[in-house]
Amino acid sequence: MEKPKVNFANRPSFWRPAILLAALLALVAYGSRRETPAPPSGTGSLAAVVNGIPVPMSTYEWQLAVATRAYAGPYAPPNSPTGKTIARLLRDEAVQEAIAETVIDYTAKKHTVTVSGSAVAREVARLTSAAGGTAGLTHQLRAAGMTMADLRRVARYMVLRDRVATVLGDPAWLDHLVGRARISYYVGDGAAGPDVGPAILLGHPAPPFVAVDLAGKAVSLADLQGKAVVLDFWTTGCADCQGDLPLLLALARAHPHLAVVALDRQEDAGLIRRYITAHHLGGLTIWRDVTGQAATDYTVSSLPDSFFIDDRGILRAYNFGPLADAPAVGSLAGYAATGVNDTQP
């Protein structure tokens, strides 16, 4: 089963300028069956195969170039764990976008759906207006490392996708089709091996993510490799989180071999510092999920939520809602420390 994918139309400006977010092709492949066989002879030009439909490597490379130019997150050296995580996430985004383009093209041809140049021009005009005019669009394109030709390409796929939706009578047809698809990946995360469970399934790898610490330095789960991790999502305005943080600080002090991280969701560093000082939480490792992407990938819908990950990056336990008490958090952390799932006898 495919790990949950984010609808790229909802990606925050940390990844792409706001005007271009609506232009990104949606791909939420919750149910895809994922295969990673060795590429057959002659597939060096393929990025993936979707239900037998080849995804050209050139499409993937274009998407990767755009994603890389548009990336506006914290810098990390390319060979560092966080730098490798950033590259990994960009590659995975690019192959998903390439799959979306390929599926749209194939389905449109199957149903003889076409898009005229004038329709694309109207969509570009709509995007220009939404950006506040030509000057605004130019600024946002420059920030994304895109040209007008790139924008026209994206606009074409937007119109084509919507016209196919009208023909099929299904506004989410792309998500539904890919969600049932059998996909072989030759690039991106899927090329590393079979992904047989959802992103937060116990006994499977915890989703990679990039965050920043309170000093603004890029950090990631990969930086903690070799340590069991307790990862808690919180915000300063979350009443239930106020009880969790002292428990986490006590856990970190009692068990220095654990990496205990409080991952704040999309708040200002100054606000967090003031909160930490006021509540006497100095010494607790605080990271910032500046985009909310990590919370999305971990399916966090309310706060607090906690995840317990072993030293190999495998999710061993989770707790949705406030932690009960010190023995409870210690017990959950024990699953991560021992590499045992909390569902096992």
| Bond into 40 cis (ω within 30) | no
Higher-pLDDT residue of 267, 31: 267
What is the mean predicted confidence (pLDDT) over 63-89? 91
- Side-chain half-sphere exposure of 140, counting CA atoms within 13 A: 24
pLDDT at 344: 58
CA distance 292 to 282: 24
Q: Which residues contact 260 (CB under 8 A, 6 or more apart)?
A: 229, 230, 232, 248, 249, 251, 252, 284, 285
Predicted confidence (pLDDT) at residue 26 exceeds the cutoff of 70 = no
pLDDT in tens, 28-38: 333 334 444 55
Among residues 114, 138, 113, the alpha carbon closest in space to that of 124 is found at 138
What is the mean predicted confidence (pLDDT) over 177-193? 83
Supply 101's token pair. Answer: 């383009």
pLDDT at 304: 95
Angle in degrees, CA 257, 260, 266, rounded to 5:
160
- Side-chain half-sphere exposure of 226, counting CA atoms within 13 A: 2
Higher-pLDDT residue of 146, 258: 258
Angle (deg, nearest 10), helices 57-70 and 81-110:
130
Helix (H) or strand (E) holding 275: helix 269-278
> What are the structural domains of the chain?
8-192 (1.10.4030), 210-338 (3.40.30.10)
Q: Are residues 206 and 315 in contact, defined by beta-carbon separation less than 8 angstroms?
A: yes
pLDDT in tens, 130-146: 999 999 999 989 888 88
Longest dimension (CA), the chain: 66
> With the C-alpha atoms ordered 200, 206, 211, 214, is the resulting torsion angle positive or negative?
positive
Supply 218's token pair. Answer: 């890029």
